[in-house]
Structure 1
Protein backbone atom coordinates (compact mmCIF):
# COMPACT_ATOMS: atom_id res chain seq x y z
CA UNK A 1 0.00 0.00 0.00
CA UNK A 2 1.45 3.34 -1.04
CA UNK A 3 1.43 6.14 1.49
CA UNK A 4 0.04 9.34 -0.07
CA UNK A 5 2.51 12.17 -0.32
CA UNK A 6 1.86 15.02 2.09
CA UNK A 7 1.96 18.41 0.34
CA UNK A 8 4.68 20.73 1.57
CA UNK A 9 4.07 24.39 2.33
CA UNK A 10 5.41 25.44 -1.06
CA UNK A 11 2.92 23.12 -2.75
CA UNK A 12 -0.14 24.76 -1.22
CA UNK A 13 -0.97 26.75 -4.33
CA UNK A 14 -4.17 28.53 -5.23
CA UNK A 15 -5.19 25.58 -7.43
CA UNK A 16 -4.63 23.11 -4.59
CA UNK A 17 -6.77 25.14 -2.21
CA UNK A 18 -9.56 25.57 -4.73
CA UNK A 19 -9.62 21.85 -5.47
CA UNK A 20 -9.87 21.07 -1.76
CA UNK A 21 -12.68 23.57 -1.32
CA UNK A 22 -14.58 22.12 -4.28
CA UNK A 23 -14.25 18.60 -2.90
CA UNK A 24 -15.52 19.57 0.55
CA UNK A 25 -19.16 18.79 1.31
CA UNK A 26 -21.46 21.71 0.65
CA UNK A 27 -23.89 22.26 3.49
CA UNK A 28 -26.25 25.16 3.87
CA UNK A 29 -25.21 25.92 7.45
CA UNK A 30 -21.45 25.63 6.93
CA UNK A 31 -19.57 28.78 7.87
CA UNK A 32 -16.88 30.01 5.47
CA UNK A 33 -13.44 28.81 6.51
CA UNK A 34 -11.16 31.55 7.85
CA UNK A 35 -8.32 32.49 5.50
CA UNK A 36 -4.96 30.88 6.06
CA UNK A 37 -2.86 33.41 8.01
CA UNK A 38 0.80 34.12 7.48
CA UNK A 39 2.49 32.96 10.68
CA UNK A 40 5.97 33.79 11.96
CA UNK A 41 7.50 32.71 15.26
CA UNK A 42 11.05 33.32 16.45
CA UNK A 43 12.82 32.15 19.58
CA UNK A 44 16.20 32.18 21.27
CA UNK A 45 18.59 29.40 20.30
CA UNK A 46 21.87 29.23 22.19
CA UNK A 47 23.57 32.60 21.81
CA UNK A 48 21.48 33.45 18.75
CA UNK A 49 17.92 33.14 17.48
CA UNK A 50 16.03 30.97 15.02
CA UNK A 51 12.76 30.84 13.14
CA UNK A 52 10.51 28.39 14.97
CA UNK A 53 7.75 28.88 12.39
CA UNK A 54 7.55 30.34 8.88
CA UNK A 55 4.11 29.54 7.54
CA UNK A 56 2.97 30.87 4.17
CA UNK A 57 -0.52 32.34 4.22
CA UNK A 58 -3.10 32.75 1.53
CA UNK A 59 -1.75 36.16 0.50
CA UNK A 60 1.76 36.60 1.92
CA UNK A 61 4.88 34.44 2.10
CA UNK A 62 7.52 35.13 4.80
CA UNK A 63 11.09 34.99 3.51
CA UNK A 64 14.19 35.30 5.75
CA UNK A 65 16.47 38.21 4.88
CA UNK A 66 20.24 38.23 5.34
CA UNK A 67 21.85 40.59 7.79
CA UNK A 68 20.09 39.43 10.92
CA UNK A 69 21.47 37.28 13.69
CA UNK A 70 25.24 37.06 14.09
CA UNK A 71 27.12 35.10 16.76
CA UNK A 72 26.06 36.47 20.12
CA UNK A 73 23.08 38.35 18.65
CA UNK A 74 19.42 37.42 18.76
CA UNK A 75 18.21 39.40 15.77
CA UNK A 76 16.32 38.03 12.76
CA UNK A 77 14.90 39.71 9.66
CA UNK A 78 12.06 38.58 7.41
CA UNK A 79 10.33 40.04 4.35
CA UNK A 80 6.65 39.61 3.50
CA UNK A 81 6.27 38.76 -0.20
CA UNK A 82 2.88 39.03 -1.89
CA UNK A 83 1.82 35.87 -3.75
CA UNK A 84 -1.60 37.02 -4.99
CA UNK A 85 -3.11 40.26 -6.20
CA UNK A 86 -4.59 42.16 -3.24
CA UNK A 87 -6.51 43.84 -1.76
CA UNK A 88 -9.70 43.01 -3.62
CA UNK A 89 -13.22 43.10 -2.22
CA UNK A 90 -13.66 40.36 0.36
CA UNK A 91 -9.92 39.74 0.86
CA UNK A 92 -8.93 39.03 4.46
CA UNK A 93 -5.16 39.28 4.98
CA UNK A 94 -4.04 37.99 8.37
CA UNK A 95 -0.54 38.01 9.85
CA UNK A 96 0.27 36.33 13.16
CA UNK A 97 3.65 36.90 14.82
CA UNK A 98 5.20 35.58 18.03
CA UNK A 99 8.56 36.94 19.21
CA UNK A 100 10.23 34.96 21.98
CA UNK A 101 11.81 36.45 25.07
CA UNK A 102 14.95 38.47 24.39
CA UNK A 103 14.72 38.16 20.59
CA UNK A 104 14.56 40.99 18.03
CA UNK A 105 12.50 40.45 14.87
CA UNK A 106 12.57 42.92 12.00
CA UNK A 107 9.71 42.63 9.48
CA UNK A 108 10.04 44.33 6.10
CA UNK A 109 7.32 45.07 3.56
CA UNK A 110 9.37 45.40 0.35
CA UNK A 111 6.47 46.72 -1.72
CA UNK A 112 3.42 48.86 -1.09
CA UNK A 113 -0.14 47.57 -1.09
CA UNK A 114 -3.21 48.91 -2.90
CA UNK A 115 -6.80 48.31 -1.86
CA UNK A 116 -8.49 48.34 -5.28
CA UNK A 117 -11.93 49.55 -6.32
CA UNK A 118 -14.33 46.90 -5.00
CA UNK A 119 -17.54 48.91 -5.35
CA UNK A 120 -17.62 49.32 -1.59
CA UNK A 121 -17.18 45.66 -0.64
CA UNK A 122 -15.00 45.52 2.46
CA UNK A 123 -11.51 44.02 2.63
CA UNK A 124 -9.41 43.52 5.74
CA UNK A 125 -5.74 43.58 6.74
CA UNK A 126 -4.87 42.43 10.26
CA UNK A 127 -1.59 42.09 12.19
CA UNK A 128 -1.75 40.21 15.49
CA UNK A 129 1.57 40.01 17.36
CA UNK A 130 2.65 38.72 20.76
CA UNK A 131 6.00 39.80 22.24
CA UNK A 132 7.67 37.91 25.07
CA UNK A 133 9.65 39.45 27.91
CA UNK A 134 12.35 41.78 26.57
CA UNK A 135 11.42 41.02 22.96
CA UNK A 136 11.62 43.62 20.17
CA UNK A 137 9.48 43.83 17.03
CA UNK A 138 10.39 46.30 14.29
CA UNK A 139 7.78 46.68 11.54
CA UNK A 140 9.00 48.57 8.48
CA UNK A 141 5.79 49.05 6.56
CA UNK A 142 5.48 50.25 2.97
CA UNK A 143 2.77 52.60 1.70
CA UNK A 144 -0.81 51.38 1.98
CA UNK A 145 -3.09 52.97 -0.65
CA UNK A 146 -6.88 53.02 -0.30
CA UNK A 147 -8.12 53.54 -3.87
CA UNK A 148 -11.47 55.06 -4.75
CA UNK A 149 -14.19 52.42 -4.39
CA UNK A 150 -12.28 50.41 -1.79
CA UNK A 151 -13.51 49.81 1.75
CA UNK A 152 -10.79 48.74 4.18
CA UNK A 153 -10.56 47.71 7.81
CA UNK A 154 -6.91 47.74 8.88
CA UNK A 155 -5.97 46.45 12.33
CA UNK A 156 -2.64 46.35 14.17
CA UNK A 157 -2.81 44.60 17.53
CA UNK A 158 0.35 43.94 19.55
CA UNK A 159 0.47 42.40 23.03
CA UNK A 160 3.75 43.16 24.78
CA UNK A 161 5.35 41.37 27.72
CA UNK A 162 7.48 43.04 30.42
CA UNK A 163 10.35 45.02 28.90
CA UNK A 164 9.19 44.38 25.33
CA UNK A 165 9.42 47.14 22.72
CA UNK A 166 7.70 47.78 19.40
CA UNK A 167 8.63 50.12 16.55
CA UNK A 168 6.16 50.70 13.72
CA UNK A 169 6.53 52.63 10.49
CA UNK A 170 3.29 53.15 8.60
CA UNK A 171 2.11 55.25 5.65
CA UNK A 172 -1.59 55.51 4.76
CA UNK A 173 -2.42 57.04 1.37
CA UNK A 174 -6.01 58.12 0.72
CA UNK A 175 -6.63 57.52 -2.97
CA UNK A 176 -4.34 57.22 -5.94
CA UNK A 177 -3.29 60.27 -7.92
CA UNK A 178 -6.29 62.30 -8.99
CA UNK A 179 -8.90 60.28 -7.09
CA UNK A 180 -10.61 60.26 -3.72
CA UNK A 181 -10.25 57.42 -1.24
CA UNK A 182 -12.71 54.77 -0.24
CA UNK A 183 -13.59 54.36 3.44
CA UNK A 184 -10.57 53.40 5.55
CA UNK A 185 -10.73 52.47 9.21
CA UNK A 186 -7.37 51.98 10.92
CA UNK A 187 -7.26 50.49 14.43
CA UNK A 188 -3.98 50.33 16.37
CA UNK A 189 -3.87 48.78 19.82
CA UNK A 190 -0.53 48.29 21.58
CA UNK A 191 -1.04 46.61 24.94
CA UNK A 192 1.49 46.23 27.75
CA UNK A 193 1.46 43.94 30.78
CA UNK A 194 -0.74 46.33 32.78
CA UNK A 195 -2.34 48.79 30.38
CA UNK A 196 -2.41 50.03 26.78
CA UNK A 197 0.46 52.04 25.37
CA UNK A 198 -1.73 53.21 22.50
CA UNK A 199 -5.31 52.57 21.42
CA UNK A 200 -6.24 54.54 18.31
CA UNK A 201 -9.36 54.01 16.22
CA UNK A 202 -9.13 56.23 13.16
CA UNK A 203 -12.24 56.19 10.96
CA UNK A 204 -11.48 57.94 7.66
CA UNK A 205 -14.88 57.88 6.01
CA UNK A 206 -16.32 60.55 3.75
CA UNK A 207 -16.04 64.05 5.18
CA UNK A 208 -14.58 62.79 8.45
CA UNK A 209 -11.12 62.55 6.95
CA UNK A 210 -11.20 66.23 6.04
CA UNK A 211 -12.27 67.37 9.50
CA UNK A 212 -10.11 69.75 11.51
CA UNK A 213 -7.72 67.73 13.66
CA UNK A 214 -7.83 64.69 11.36
CA UNK A 215 -6.33 65.16 7.87
CA UNK A 216 -7.66 68.48 6.68
CA UNK A 217 -6.44 68.93 3.11
CA UNK A 218 -3.74 66.26 3.36
CA UNK A 219 -3.83 63.02 1.38
CA UNK A 220 -1.14 61.05 3.22
CA UNK A 221 -0.66 60.23 6.88
CA UNK A 222 2.75 58.83 7.81
CA UNK A 223 3.61 57.67 11.32
CA UNK A 224 6.52 56.32 13.31
CA UNK A 225 5.33 54.78 16.58
CA UNK A 226 7.42 53.58 19.53
CA UNK A 227 5.98 51.62 22.46
CA UNK A 228 7.80 50.28 25.51
CA UNK A 229 10.39 53.05 25.72
CA UNK A 230 10.59 56.78 25.16
CA UNK A 231 12.97 57.55 22.26
CA UNK A 232 15.42 60.38 22.56
CA UNK A 233 14.75 63.50 20.44
CA UNK A 234 16.45 63.65 17.07
CA UNK A 235 20.19 64.20 17.31
CA UNK A 236 21.59 67.48 16.04
CA UNK A 237 22.92 65.94 12.86
CA UNK A 238 19.45 64.61 11.97
CA UNK A 239 17.37 67.52 13.20
CA UNK A 240 18.19 69.65 10.18
CA UNK A 241 16.44 67.20 7.86
CA UNK A 242 13.11 67.69 9.61
CA UNK A 243 10.57 70.17 8.32
CA UNK A 244 7.19 71.61 9.28
CA UNK A 245 4.50 68.96 8.96
CA UNK A 246 5.92 66.29 11.27
CA UNK A 247 4.95 66.42 14.93
CA UNK A 248 5.92 64.27 17.89
CA UNK A 249 3.35 63.21 20.48
CA UNK A 250 4.32 61.65 23.81
CA UNK A 251 2.24 58.72 25.04
CA UNK A 252 1.09 58.50 28.66
CA UNK A 253 2.97 55.21 28.98
CA UNK A 254 6.57 54.96 27.70
CA UNK A 255 6.34 55.65 23.99
CA UNK A 256 5.91 58.30 21.32
CA UNK A 257 4.32 58.90 17.92
CA UNK A 258 5.79 61.14 15.25
CA UNK A 259 3.25 61.87 12.54
CA UNK A 260 3.41 63.72 9.21
CA UNK A 261 0.43 64.89 7.15
CA UNK A 262 1.45 65.56 3.55
CA UNK A 263 0.24 65.55 -0.03
CA UNK A 264 2.44 62.67 -1.22
CA UNK A 265 3.97 59.51 0.23
CA UNK A 266 7.44 60.70 -0.80
CA UNK A 267 7.04 63.86 1.26
CA UNK A 268 5.98 61.86 4.31
CA UNK A 269 8.96 59.52 3.89
CA UNK A 270 11.33 62.47 3.68
CA UNK A 271 10.01 63.86 6.97
CA UNK A 272 9.93 60.59 8.87
CA UNK A 273 13.02 58.76 7.62
CA UNK A 274 15.45 60.45 10.08
CA UNK A 275 13.07 59.73 12.96
CA UNK A 276 12.65 56.08 12.06
CA UNK A 277 16.37 55.61 11.39
CA UNK A 278 17.42 57.00 14.78
CA UNK A 279 14.76 55.14 16.77
CA UNK A 280 15.62 51.87 15.02
CA UNK A 281 19.36 52.37 15.50
CA UNK A 282 18.80 52.92 19.21
CA UNK A 283 16.81 49.71 19.49
CA UNK A 284 19.36 47.60 17.64
CA UNK A 285 22.25 49.08 19.59
CA UNK A 286 20.46 48.47 22.87
CA UNK A 287 20.82 52.09 23.95
CA UNK A 288 17.11 52.94 24.13
CA UNK A 289 16.13 51.00 27.23
CA UNK A 290 14.79 53.85 29.32
CA UNK A 291 11.36 53.30 30.84
Structure 2
Protein backbone atom coordinates (compact mmCIF):
# COMPACT_ATOMS: atom_id res chain seq x y z
CA UNK A 1 0.00 0.00 0.00
CA UNK A 2 1.41 3.39 -0.97
CA UNK A 3 1.40 5.99 1.76
CA UNK A 4 1.94 9.75 1.85
CA UNK A 5 5.31 10.93 3.06
CA UNK A 6 7.08 14.20 3.81
CA UNK A 7 10.82 14.71 3.51
CA UNK A 8 12.96 17.20 5.39
CA UNK A 9 13.52 20.58 3.79
CA UNK A 10 17.25 19.88 3.43
CA UNK A 11 16.75 16.83 1.21
CA UNK A 12 18.89 16.93 -1.93
CA UNK A 13 19.87 14.63 -4.74
CA UNK A 14 22.92 14.64 -7.04
CA UNK A 15 22.65 16.54 -10.28
CA UNK A 16 23.50 14.59 -13.38
CA UNK A 17 27.02 15.01 -14.68
CA UNK A 18 28.29 17.45 -12.03
CA UNK A 19 28.34 15.35 -8.86
CA UNK A 20 27.10 18.41 -6.97
CA UNK A 21 23.88 18.11 -4.96
CA UNK A 22 20.90 20.12 -6.09
CA UNK A 23 17.78 20.97 -4.09
CA UNK A 24 15.21 18.21 -4.01
CA UNK A 25 11.99 19.09 -5.85
CA UNK A 26 8.61 19.35 -4.22
CA UNK A 27 6.62 16.26 -5.29
CA UNK A 28 2.87 15.73 -5.20
CA UNK A 29 1.08 12.60 -6.42
CA UNK A 30 -2.61 11.78 -6.15
CA UNK A 31 -4.40 8.60 -7.10
CA UNK A 32 -7.83 7.02 -6.97
CA UNK A 33 -8.58 4.49 -4.25
CA UNK A 34 -12.09 3.12 -4.76
CA UNK A 35 -14.55 6.00 -4.86
CA UNK A 36 -12.13 8.48 -3.30
CA UNK A 37 -8.87 10.24 -4.16
CA UNK A 38 -5.84 10.22 -1.89
CA UNK A 39 -2.35 11.67 -1.75
CA UNK A 40 0.20 8.96 -2.47
CA UNK A 41 3.22 11.29 -2.32
CA UNK A 42 3.68 14.62 -0.49
CA UNK A 43 7.39 15.34 -0.61
CA UNK A 44 8.66 18.58 0.86
CA UNK A 45 11.38 20.20 -1.20
CA UNK A 46 14.00 22.68 -0.14
CA UNK A 47 11.84 25.69 -0.99
CA UNK A 48 8.20 24.57 -0.85
CA UNK A 49 6.12 22.33 1.39
CA UNK A 50 2.81 20.84 0.14
CA UNK A 51 0.00 21.04 2.70
CA UNK A 52 -3.45 19.45 2.11
CA UNK A 53 -6.33 21.92 2.25
CA UNK A 54 -10.01 21.23 2.92
CA UNK A 55 -12.74 22.90 0.91
CA UNK A 56 -14.24 20.50 -1.63
CA UNK A 57 -17.15 18.13 -1.20
CA UNK A 58 -16.12 15.98 -4.18
CA UNK A 59 -14.25 12.90 -2.86
CA UNK A 60 -12.29 12.74 -6.13
CA UNK A 61 -11.15 16.38 -5.87
CA UNK A 62 -8.15 17.12 -3.62
CA UNK A 63 -6.63 20.51 -2.80
CA UNK A 64 -3.11 21.30 -1.67
CA UNK A 65 -1.31 24.56 -0.82
CA UNK A 66 2.36 25.24 -1.55
CA UNK A 67 3.92 26.93 1.49
CA UNK A 68 7.28 28.68 1.20
CA UNK A 69 9.79 27.45 3.79
CA UNK A 70 13.00 28.91 2.39
CA UNK A 71 13.81 32.35 1.02
CA UNK A 72 13.55 32.47 -2.77
CA UNK A 73 14.34 33.33 -5.50
CA UNK A 74 17.96 34.30 -5.14
CA UNK A 75 20.75 33.90 -7.68
CA UNK A 76 21.41 30.22 -8.31
CA UNK A 77 18.12 28.99 -6.81
CA UNK A 78 16.45 26.05 -8.57
CA UNK A 79 12.80 25.64 -7.50
CA UNK A 80 11.26 22.52 -9.01
CA UNK A 81 7.74 21.12 -8.60
CA UNK A 82 6.77 17.68 -9.89
CA UNK A 83 3.12 16.62 -9.97
CA UNK A 84 1.40 13.37 -10.92
CA UNK A 85 -2.40 13.16 -11.16
CA UNK A 86 -3.86 9.67 -11.42
CA UNK A 87 -6.72 8.69 -13.76
CA UNK A 88 -10.12 10.11 -12.86
CA UNK A 89 -8.82 12.41 -10.11
CA UNK A 90 -8.83 16.21 -9.80
CA UNK A 91 -5.94 17.98 -8.06
CA UNK A 92 -6.08 21.68 -7.23
CA UNK A 93 -2.83 23.43 -6.27
CA UNK A 94 -2.96 26.84 -4.59
CA UNK A 95 -0.11 29.30 -4.08
CA UNK A 96 -1.24 31.34 -1.04
CA UNK A 97 1.47 33.99 -1.43
CA UNK A 98 3.29 35.57 -4.31
CA UNK A 99 6.97 35.05 -5.12
CA UNK A 100 9.72 37.55 -5.77
CA UNK A 101 12.88 36.96 -7.76
CA UNK A 102 15.27 39.34 -5.98
CA UNK A 103 18.13 41.42 -7.34
CA UNK A 104 20.91 38.89 -7.93
CA UNK A 105 23.18 40.94 -10.22
CA UNK A 106 21.70 38.90 -13.09
CA UNK A 107 22.90 35.56 -11.67
CA UNK A 108 20.39 33.07 -13.18
CA UNK A 109 17.71 31.35 -11.12
CA UNK A 110 15.10 28.81 -12.16
CA UNK A 111 11.48 27.87 -11.39
CA UNK A 112 9.87 24.86 -13.06
CA UNK A 113 6.63 22.87 -12.92
CA UNK A 114 6.35 19.41 -14.47
CA UNK A 115 2.92 17.75 -14.35
CA UNK A 116 1.80 14.34 -15.62
CA UNK A 117 -1.97 13.93 -15.96
CA UNK A 118 -3.54 10.47 -16.28
CA UNK A 119 -6.61 9.61 -18.32
CA UNK A 120 -9.71 11.70 -17.51
CA UNK A 121 -7.87 13.56 -14.75
CA UNK A 122 -7.78 17.30 -14.06
CA UNK A 123 -5.18 19.73 -12.72
CA UNK A 124 -6.10 23.20 -11.48
CA UNK A 125 -3.10 25.46 -10.78
CA UNK A 126 -4.10 28.66 -8.95
CA UNK A 127 -0.84 30.57 -9.10
CA UNK A 128 -0.05 33.79 -7.25
CA UNK A 129 1.86 36.78 -8.63
CA UNK A 130 5.47 36.21 -9.64
CA UNK A 131 7.59 39.37 -9.47
CA UNK A 132 10.87 39.68 -11.36
CA UNK A 133 12.66 42.49 -9.50
CA UNK A 134 15.35 44.61 -11.10
CA UNK A 135 18.61 42.67 -11.25
CA UNK A 136 16.94 39.25 -11.36
CA UNK A 137 17.45 36.74 -14.16
CA UNK A 138 14.76 34.05 -14.10
CA UNK A 139 13.91 31.06 -16.26
CA UNK A 140 10.34 29.77 -15.73
CA UNK A 141 9.23 26.49 -17.28
CA UNK A 142 5.72 24.99 -17.11
CA UNK A 143 5.32 21.56 -18.73
CA UNK A 144 2.01 19.69 -18.84
CA UNK A 145 1.67 16.16 -20.22
CA UNK A 146 -1.96 15.14 -20.71
CA UNK A 147 -3.25 11.63 -21.31
CA UNK A 148 -6.53 11.03 -23.16
CA UNK A 149 -9.42 12.94 -21.61
CA UNK A 150 -7.20 14.92 -19.22
CA UNK A 151 -7.77 18.64 -18.65
CA UNK A 152 -5.68 21.39 -17.08
CA UNK A 153 -6.35 24.97 -15.99
CA UNK A 154 -3.43 27.25 -15.06
CA UNK A 155 -3.45 30.75 -13.64
CA UNK A 156 -0.28 32.83 -13.89
CA UNK A 157 0.54 36.49 -13.23
CA UNK A 158 3.99 37.77 -14.19
CA UNK A 159 5.06 41.17 -12.86
CA UNK A 160 8.09 43.00 -14.24
CA UNK A 161 9.61 44.88 -11.33
CA UNK A 162 8.39 45.99 -7.95
CA UNK A 163 6.73 49.36 -7.47
CA UNK A 164 8.79 52.14 -9.04
CA UNK A 165 11.45 49.92 -10.64
CA UNK A 166 12.12 48.26 -13.98
CA UNK A 167 11.81 44.51 -14.16
CA UNK A 168 14.62 42.03 -14.33
CA UNK A 169 15.32 39.48 -17.05
CA UNK A 170 12.51 36.92 -17.37
CA UNK A 171 11.92 34.07 -19.76
CA UNK A 172 8.73 32.04 -19.32
CA UNK A 173 8.13 28.88 -21.37
CA UNK A 174 4.79 27.04 -21.25
CA UNK A 175 4.35 23.75 -23.07
CA UNK A 176 1.30 21.48 -22.94
CA UNK A 177 1.16 18.22 -24.89
CA UNK A 178 -1.54 15.58 -25.32
CA UNK A 179 -1.72 12.15 -26.96
CA UNK A 180 -1.68 13.76 -30.43
CA UNK A 181 1.21 16.15 -29.79
CA UNK A 182 1.55 19.76 -28.70
CA UNK A 183 -1.55 21.67 -27.60
CA UNK A 184 0.28 24.85 -26.62
CA UNK A 185 3.90 25.92 -26.88
CA UNK A 186 4.64 29.49 -25.82
CA UNK A 187 8.04 31.08 -25.23
CA UNK A 188 7.82 34.56 -23.67
CA UNK A 189 11.33 36.00 -23.73
CA UNK A 190 11.63 39.26 -21.77
CA UNK A 191 15.40 39.41 -21.60
CA UNK A 192 17.55 42.30 -22.76
CA UNK A 193 16.10 44.47 -25.52
CA UNK A 194 13.28 41.97 -26.14
CA UNK A 195 11.39 43.32 -23.13
CA UNK A 196 10.30 46.38 -25.09
CA UNK A 197 10.30 44.85 -28.55
CA UNK A 198 7.41 45.68 -30.88
CA UNK A 199 4.52 43.26 -30.47
CA UNK A 200 5.51 42.00 -27.02
CA UNK A 201 4.37 44.14 -24.05
CA UNK A 202 4.50 47.77 -25.13
CA UNK A 203 4.22 49.88 -21.98
CA UNK A 204 2.67 47.07 -19.91
CA UNK A 205 4.56 45.46 -17.04
CA UNK A 206 1.94 42.89 -16.01
CA UNK A 207 1.08 39.69 -17.92
CA UNK A 208 -1.88 37.88 -16.31
CA UNK A 209 -3.15 34.67 -17.90
CA UNK A 210 -5.64 31.85 -17.49
CA UNK A 211 -4.82 28.86 -19.68
CA UNK A 212 -7.16 25.93 -20.34
CA UNK A 213 -5.94 22.84 -22.22
CA UNK A 214 -7.65 19.55 -22.94
CA UNK A 215 -11.06 21.14 -23.39
CA UNK A 216 -12.48 24.33 -24.83
CA UNK A 217 -14.26 26.46 -22.22
CA UNK A 218 -17.68 27.78 -23.12
CA UNK A 219 -18.25 31.41 -24.04
CA UNK A 220 -17.89 33.70 -21.03
CA UNK A 221 -18.54 37.44 -20.74
CA UNK A 222 -15.30 39.37 -21.20
CA UNK A 223 -14.80 41.77 -18.26
CA UNK A 224 -14.64 45.39 -19.39
CA UNK A 225 -11.38 47.28 -18.74
CA UNK A 226 -11.49 48.95 -15.33
CA UNK A 227 -9.62 52.30 -15.14
CA UNK A 228 -7.55 52.72 -12.01
CA UNK A 229 -7.45 56.31 -10.63
CA UNK A 230 -4.02 57.86 -10.13
CA UNK A 231 -2.84 60.44 -7.65
CA UNK A 232 -2.26 62.98 -10.42
CA UNK A 233 -5.78 62.91 -11.83
CA UNK A 234 -8.40 60.35 -10.95
CA UNK A 235 -10.62 61.48 -13.81
CA UNK A 236 -8.10 62.10 -16.58
CA UNK A 237 -8.46 59.86 -19.61
CA UNK A 238 -4.72 59.48 -20.05
CA UNK A 239 -4.21 58.42 -16.47
CA UNK A 240 -7.09 55.98 -16.76
CA UNK A 241 -5.55 54.45 -19.87
CA UNK A 242 -2.22 53.91 -18.12
CA UNK A 243 -3.90 52.26 -15.15
CA UNK A 244 -6.32 50.08 -17.07
CA UNK A 245 -5.83 46.65 -18.61
CA UNK A 246 -7.80 44.55 -21.03
CA UNK A 247 -8.42 40.81 -21.14
CA UNK A 248 -8.52 38.94 -24.44
CA UNK A 249 -9.46 35.35 -25.19
CA UNK A 250 -7.51 33.26 -27.69
CA UNK A 251 -8.86 29.85 -28.73
CA UNK A 252 -6.22 27.25 -29.53
CA UNK A 253 -6.24 25.04 -32.62
CA UNK A 254 -6.50 22.00 -30.32
CA UNK A 255 -9.09 21.99 -27.49
CA UNK A 256 -8.08 24.85 -25.23
CA UNK A 257 -8.05 28.61 -24.74
CA UNK A 258 -5.95 31.38 -23.21
CA UNK A 259 -7.35 34.48 -21.52
CA UNK A 260 -4.72 37.19 -21.15
CA UNK A 261 -4.66 40.66 -19.66
CA UNK A 262 -1.80 43.16 -20.05
CA UNK A 263 -1.56 46.26 -17.93
CA UNK A 264 0.43 48.57 -15.71
CA UNK A 265 -1.39 47.71 -12.47
CA UNK A 266 -1.10 44.17 -11.10
CA UNK A 267 -4.45 44.17 -9.31
CA UNK A 268 -6.33 45.32 -12.43
CA UNK A 269 -4.76 42.79 -14.81
CA UNK A 270 -4.97 39.96 -12.29
CA UNK A 271 -8.61 40.76 -11.49
CA UNK A 272 -9.65 40.53 -15.13
CA UNK A 273 -7.75 37.33 -15.94
CA UNK A 274 -8.81 35.98 -12.55
CA UNK A 275 -12.47 36.43 -13.42
CA UNK A 276 -11.98 34.21 -16.48
CA UNK A 277 -10.04 31.68 -14.40
CA UNK A 278 -12.86 31.52 -11.85
CA UNK A 279 -15.48 30.98 -14.57
CA UNK A 280 -13.41 28.27 -16.25
CA UNK A 281 -12.71 26.61 -12.91
CA UNK A 282 -16.43 26.45 -12.18
CA UNK A 283 -16.99 24.88 -15.60
CA UNK A 284 -14.16 22.38 -15.12
CA UNK A 285 -15.38 21.25 -11.69
CA UNK A 286 -18.98 20.99 -12.83
Q: Secondary structure at the match of 2:285?
A: helix
Match of 1:122 in 2: 108
Distance 2:143 2:274 in 1: 23
Q: Does 1:51 align with 2:39?
A: yes
Structure with greater strand percent? 2
Distance 1:30 1:256 in 2: 40
Match of 1:3 in 2: none
Q: Note the alpha carbon deviations across 1:221-257, whole angstroms, 9 max, x for none.
A: 000000001111115xxx4x43261111111100000
C-alpha contact (below 8 Å) 2:249/2:259 kept by paired residues: yes
Q: Secondary structure at the match of 1:58?
A: coil
Distance 2:163 2:178 in 1: 39
Q: Note the alpha carbon deviations across 1:80-105, whole angstroms, 9 max, x for none.
A: 00001100000000000000001000
Larger radius of gyration: 1
Which runs of 5 or more residues in structure 2 are unaligned? 226-244
Distance 1:119 1:270 in 2: 32
Matches within 5 A, 1:1-291: 9=6, 12-14=8-10, 31-68=19-56, 70=58, 73-235=59-221, 239=222, 241-243=223-225, 245-285=246-286
C-alpha contact (below 8 Å) 1:250/1:256 kept by paired residues: yes
C-alpha contact (below 8 Å) 1:49/1:69 kept by paired residues: no
Distance 2:116 2:47 in 1: 21
CA RMSD of aligned residues (A): 1.9
Q: Note the alpha carbon deviations across 1:60-97, whole angstroms, 9 max, x for none.
A: 00000001354xx3100000000011000000000000
Distance 1:38 1:202 in 2: 25
C-alpha contact (below 8 Å) 1:114/1:147 kept by paired residues: yes
Distance 1:146 1:30 in 2: 28
Equivalenced residues, count: 261
Match of 1:289 in 2: none
Q: TM-score, normalised by structure 2?
A: 0.87
Which runs of 5 or more residues in structure 1 are unaligned? 1-7, 286-291
Match of 2:239 in 1: none
